[in-house]
Amino acid sequence: MNLAYRLSGCADFACIFGIVKTVVEKAIGERRGGLLLGLSELPNYIGAFHQVGSNFIVMNKSLLEDVLKTGDKEIINSYIFHILLHEYLHTLGYVDEQQTQVLAQAISEEALGPNHSATLIAKHGISSVLPNAGRFEYHGENRSWNMEVVQDFEVDDLDYFG
């Protein structure tokens, strides 16, 4: 099945992350499990992060909420795909930011095509598909730094935890 079509049909993080894992394994032959996703208030210049040695990917909740407000499913899923792809590569040991960015771009282009929104985000940033992205307000000063853990994020590994 066409991966771009599958991505457009996703309705949750687990579906998108499943595609991320598939395309990474196909492209570089690496895979890992046991990851968790958290949503937290971060400065608007940080889309997400992964602390080396941890099993957490932490996504910027404020930016995600602003992208969700667009109501454009292609943009939403492409943004989430890009963020999860980039951070998943970090979890596999790609710690150099520039190397990870180049690899994420190449994987996106190979899997989804050169004109797909996720590829454009990888190449040019979120503002390439969402012009007001650079104007999103950082909400962290007025909110708590609590992290919300996304349930059932990595559903293909549930037997491991069961």
Residue 116 carries which side chain, given as an amino acid letter? H
Provide the pairing of β-strand 56-60 with 36-40: parallel
53 located within any domain: yes
Give yes or no for residue 1 having a pLDDT over 80.
Answer: no
Calculate the CA 1 to chain-centre distance. Answer: 21
Could you tell me the sign of the dihedral formed by the alpha carbons of 125, 126, 132, 137, in that order? negative
Q: Which residues of 34-71 are buried (b: 16+ CB within 10 A; e: fewer)?
A: ebebbbbbbebeebbbbeeeeebbbbbbbbbebbeeee
Q: Which domain range does residue 26 map to?
A: 3-155
42 located within any domain: yes
Whether 119 contacts 110, CB under 8 Å: no
3-class DSSP state of 72:
coil
Average pLDDT in the 106-123 region? 96
pLDDT of 137: 52
Please tell me the distance from the alpha carbon of residue 92 to that of residue 83, in angstroms, as a whole number. Answer: 14
141 located within any domain: yes
pLDDT of 144: 53
pLDDT, one tens digit per residue, over 29-76 is 999 989 999 999 888 788 899 888 888 899 999 889 989 999 999 999
160 located within any domain: no
162 located within any domain: no
Give yes or no for residue 80 having a pLDDT over 60.
Answer: yes
Count how many domains the chain has. Answer: 1
161 located within any domain: no
pLDDT of 148: 78
75 located within any domain: yes
130 located within any domain: yes
Whether 20 contacts 85, CB under 8 Å: yes
Q: What is the pTM of this model?
A: 0.86
